[in-house]
Structures are given as C-alpha cells and as structure tokens.
C-alpha cells in the first residue's frame, strides 16, 4: 500500500503592519522533529545491562515499574533513551545520534518511540522547565503576569526561510574573502594589536572607565547596542561559512530566547552533512567576529583621549566583545555555545554536558547513579570541575573590573 504524503497545514503568519503576511506550509514532519519526547520519572522505571558472552554489543532491559512491561534495548537505543529528557527535540536527538555513531538509521527513532509508547515509558514535553514551574504556580498573580509576558515575548519571532539566495549573494560579493589566508592573517594581526592596546589600557582601568561619568546610561545603551549588532554579525558569518562549504542556510531570524533573551539566530544544521573541518570552521569563524570587533575597540580606546567618553565606550565594548569570544569558544562553562559543539564533535561525546551534570548530581546526592563505567567518568568530572572553576573565575573577573572602575 502506498504511504500517504505527510499531512500539511498552510499557515498565514501576520507581520506587524497588519496586512503584510507570510504563508508557510507546515508539514507534520516539522512538528514531529520539534517534539520533545520525555521518558517517565526515574523512579518509575529500571534499566539494567544484559551481559552476554555471545553477543559483542551489550543489550539493556528497560522495565516500567508501574505496568510491569519490559523492553529489550540495543546499545544505540539505550543512547537514544538517555537523550529523551523532555528538553531535547527529536531533531537534536538525531543529530546527537549522527555525531556518536557517524551514520543515521532512519527507522531507529520512530520504531523506538513506538516501542516506548506501547510500554507507556514516554510522555511528550512541549514546554521548558521554567514554563513548567510557572504553570504549577499559576495561582499567584505575579507568576501569571510573568507567564503572560513570556508568552507575549515568545511570540515575537521575525524570521525568514528564504535566505539561501541572500547569503549566496553576500558570499559572492565579498563574503568569500573571510575564508582566505589573508583574512586569517589580518585577524591574527588585529588580535595581537588589540591585545597590546588592551594591556596598555588596563594599567589604569579606573581612569579609562571614568569617561562614563555623567553619561552612564548612554554608555551602557551604546555598548549594548553594539554588542547586539555584533551578535547579528556573528550569525551572518556562520551563514557565510555554511555557504563556503556549499551547504544550505535554512533560516535566519530574531527571537526572544527562553522568552526573555533577545537574540539573532541562524539555522546552519545542514553543515552536519559536511566534514568535521567544515563544522569546526563554521563554529569558529562566527565567534571571531567578536575577536575582530574587540580588537578594533581596544585600539580605538588606546588612541582616544584618556578619560573621554569615546575611550570608555570603546574599552567597555572591547571587554564585552572579548568576553563574548571567550564564552562562545570556551567549552567549559555549562553553556552549549560554539566551543562546546566543537569539543563534543572532536570527542565524539554529544551528550557530554547532560551526562556530566547527571553524574555530578548523583555523586552529590549520594544516589550513586552510575550512568556508565570506565573512561567516561573522568571526562564528566573534568567537565564539571573545569566549568565550575571557569564560571567562578568569569564572575570574579567581572567583579574585579566593576570594583576597579568604581574605587
């Protein structure tokens, strides 16, 4: 029997000008890929390894303690089961699978979902944890107001899917220059010059930031605005890198992340079909925007009159740009930014953060939850320890800057 084509909705999405709109065909497969399967609560199931002298690959037995139903899982299925935490979409789970196993079996996820549903081991969780907590406390007026605001902000999403042509044109008309050896050398020279300028400036950080005196609000707004623009540029360069490797840019837009963090975003997931080098270059080049802008800002600050608004603004922008560079590329900070994705790609451990935090929690609570055995445990501990130290150092550094500037 011929399989029916996926069901589709045609949706009309209004723009702010009331009459303007965009038509979007939403196939059921899009909803499927965005869904976030969630395994039942940990105390409602048991999982144990099935050791065999014959089989090379290990198997696992999963038991629903409520219904007494058992499932036999293969090692890849066990991997997928571990990803189903209600926060990870099927698309992300499939990506994690490709990164771990280097190939994709198109039937494994749907068939596992069917098995898990039959055994009542799965629920679907469409909302974030924050939204779930808010929903539980909806009785309070403040919480309800926050929910309303978040819902309103989440609806603000300006995006376009027809960006491939735009990025191709941008690449053709000069974007390709960013991926030449000359650009790499220029970036390195700029970084050295910027670092030298920063060292000179930081000898007296207090005098430097004094230029904000009387113009603090204007200064903060301008620094924020420049940073906001740099985030858009960061995403643009990701897109250009994607084009450089002849892959497709699927979407570019603006939204409020988690309902309150305004940000630009770009969908370059097609780069997963390219080489690891392409993935790394795509990740790194976006972050280098902050390196270049930060260096320029420090050079400008070094040339500006001491104690002037221009110097303070440029120096503050330089600090923020380079901090953004570090946050983007440094993988040990509990945030899944570009550097983290490079690290897990190189290590071949796509669920590093998830597993490491789970392991650390089990150690701290004494639950003794052993997720795996052997060489993964030191990696998890190293990730948690390094991330904790790094976040503490980051906070201390910023506290020092504020303290130096105000005393």
Partner 1 sequence: MQASDETLAFLRDVRVFEAFSDPDLTALTDRLRERDLRRHQILFREGDRGDEMFIVRRGTILISKAVTGKVEQVLVRVEPFDFFGEMSLFDGSPRSATAQAETDVELLVLGRDSLQAMTETAPRAAAAFFYAMVQVFMERLRRSTQQVAEATRWGLEATGLDVEAR
User: What CA–CA distance (Å, rounded) separates 45 from 73?
Assistant: 14
Least distance from C-beta 163 to partner 1, angstroms? 20
Write out the two tokens for 375: 């060489």
Task: Based on the shown chain and the rule CB under 8 A, indicate whether residue 1 belongs to the binding site for partner 1.
Answer: no
Alpha carbons 11 and 30: distance in angstroms, whole number: 13
Give whichever of 69 and 248 is closer to partner 1, judged by the CB atom.
Answer: 69
Q: How far is the CB of 7 from partner 1 (least distance, A)?
A: 4
- Segment contacting partner 1 by CB under 8 A, of 31-39, 51-59, 76-84, 181-189: 31-39
Identity of the residue, 84 or 356, whose beta carbon is nearer to partner 1 in the bound complex:
84
CA proximity to 147, closest of 156, 136, 157, 161: 136
- Least spacing, CB of residue 63 vs partner 1, in Å: 19
- Residue 191 · residue 199 · CB < 8 Å: no
29 binds partner 1 (CB under 8 A): yes
- Residue 43 in contact with partner 1, rule: CB under 8 A: no
Q: Which residues contact 126 (CB under 8 A, 6 or more apart)?
A: 35, 36
- Looking at beta carbons only, is 117 or 137 nearer to partner 1? 117
Binding of partner 1 by 31 (CB under 8 A): yes
For partner 1, the binding residue among 19, 41, 103, 107 (CB under 8 A) is 19
Among 1, 2, 3, 10, interactor with partner 1 by CB under 8 A: 10
| Residues 6 or more apart in contact with residue 15 via CB below 8 angstroms | 21, 22
Interaction of residue 42 with partner 1, rule CB under 8 A: no
Is 68 an interacting residue with respect to partner 1 (CB under 8 A)?
no
If one asks whether residue 262 binds partner 1 (CB under 8 A), the answer comes out as: no
Asked if 11 is part of the footprint of partner 1 (rule: CB under 8 A), the reply reads: yes
Pairing mode of beta strands 21-27, 251-257? unpaired
Q: How far is the CB of 117 from partner 1 (least distance, A)?
A: 5
Q: 4 or 305, CB closer to partner 1?
A: 4
Look at residue 24 and give its three-state secondary structure.
Answer: strand
Residues 305/205, Cβ–Cβ less than 8 Å: no
Is residue 7 part of the contact set for partner 1 (CB under 8 A)? Answer: yes
3-state secondary structure of 1: coil
Q: How many CB atoms lie within 10 A of CB 69?
A: 14
Q: Contact region for partner 1 (CB under 8 A) — 13-21, 161-169, 278-286, 292-300?
A: 13-21
Say how many residues touch partner 1, by CB under 8 A: 29
Binder to partner 1 among 2, 3, 23, 103 (CB under 8 A)? Answer: 23
| Cβ-based nearer residue to partner 1, 10 or 373 | 10
Short-list 310, 305, 307, 283, CA closest to 204: 307
Closer residue to partner 1, CB minimum distance, 117 or 303: 117
Question: Which 82-141 residues touch partner 1, going by CB under 8 A?
Answer: 110, 113-114, 117-118, 124
Closest contact distance (angstroms) between CB of 149 and partner 1 is: 14
Contact positions with partner 1 (CB under 8 A) in 149-188: 155
Minimum CB–partner distance for residue 30 and partner 1 (Å): 8
DSSP string, 248-302: ---EEEEEEETTTEEEEEEE-GGGGGS-HHHHHHHHHHHHHHHHHHHHHHHHHHH
Sort 377 into a burial class: Cβ within 10 Å, 0-12 / 13-18 / 19+: middle
Structure tokens, 91? 């698309």
Question: Is residue 12 close enough to count as binding partner 1 by CB under 8 A?
Answer: yes
- As measured in angstroms, the least distance from the Cβ of 260 to partner 1 is 17
How much of the chain is helix, strand and coil, in % rounded to 5? Answer: 60, 15, 25
Cβ neighbours of residue 327 closer than 8 Å, sequence gap 6 or more? 333, 335, 337, 394
The contact set with partner 1 (CB under 8 A) reads 4, 6-15, 18-21, 23, 28-32, 35, 110, 113-114, 117-118, 124, 155
């Amino acid at each position: 029997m011929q399989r029916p084509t996926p069901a589709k909705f045609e949706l009309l999405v209004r723009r702010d000008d009331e009459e303007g709109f965009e038509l979007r065909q939403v196939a059921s497969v899009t909803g499927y890929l965005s869904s976030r399967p969630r395994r039942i609560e940990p105390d409602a199931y048991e999982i144990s390894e099935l050791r065999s002298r014959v089989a090379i690959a290990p198997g696992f037995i999963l038991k629903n303690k409520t219904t007494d139903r058992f499932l036999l899982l293969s090692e890849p299925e066990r991997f997928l089961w571990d990803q189903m935490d209600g926060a990870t979409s099927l698309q992300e789970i499939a990506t994690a699978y490709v990164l771990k196993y280097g190939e994709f079996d198109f039937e494994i996820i749907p068939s596992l979902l069917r098995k898990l549903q039959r055994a009542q081991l799965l629920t679907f969780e469409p909302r974030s944890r924050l939204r779930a907590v808010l929903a539980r406390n909806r009785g309070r007026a403040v919480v309800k107001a926050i929910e309303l605001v978040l819902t309103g902000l989440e609806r603000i999403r300006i995006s376009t899917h027809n960006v491939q042509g735009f990025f191709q044109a941008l690449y053709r008309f000069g974007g390709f220059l960013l991926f030449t050896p000359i650009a790499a050398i220029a970036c390195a020279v700029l970084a050295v010059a910027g670092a030298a300028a920063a060292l000179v400036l930081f000898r007296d950080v207090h005098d430097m930031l004094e230029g904000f005196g009387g113009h603090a609000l204007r200064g903060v707004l301008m620094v924020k605005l420049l940073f906001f623009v740099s985030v858009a540029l960061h995403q643009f360069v990701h897109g250009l890198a994607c084009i450089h490797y002849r892959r497709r840019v699927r979407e570019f837009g603006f939204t409020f992340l988690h309902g309150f963090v305004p940000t630009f975003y770009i969908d370059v997931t097609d780069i997963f079909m390219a080489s690891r080098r392409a993935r790394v270059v795509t990740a790194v080049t976006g972050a280098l925007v902050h390196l270049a802008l930060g260096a320029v800002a420090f050079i400008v600050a070094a040339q500006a009159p001491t104690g002037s608004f221009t110097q303070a603004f440029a120096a503050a922008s330089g600090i923020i740009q380079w901090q953004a560079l570090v946050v983007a590329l440094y993988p040990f900070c509990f945030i899944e930014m570009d550097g983290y994705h490079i690290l897990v790609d190189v290590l071949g451990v796509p669920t590093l953060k998830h597993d490491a935090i789970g392991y650390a929690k089990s150690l701290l609570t004494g639950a003794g939850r052993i997720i795996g055995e052997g060489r993964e445990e030191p990696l998890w501990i190293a990730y948690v320890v390094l991330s904790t130290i790094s976040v503490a150092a980051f906070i201390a550094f910023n506290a020092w800057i504020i303290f130096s500037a105000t005393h």
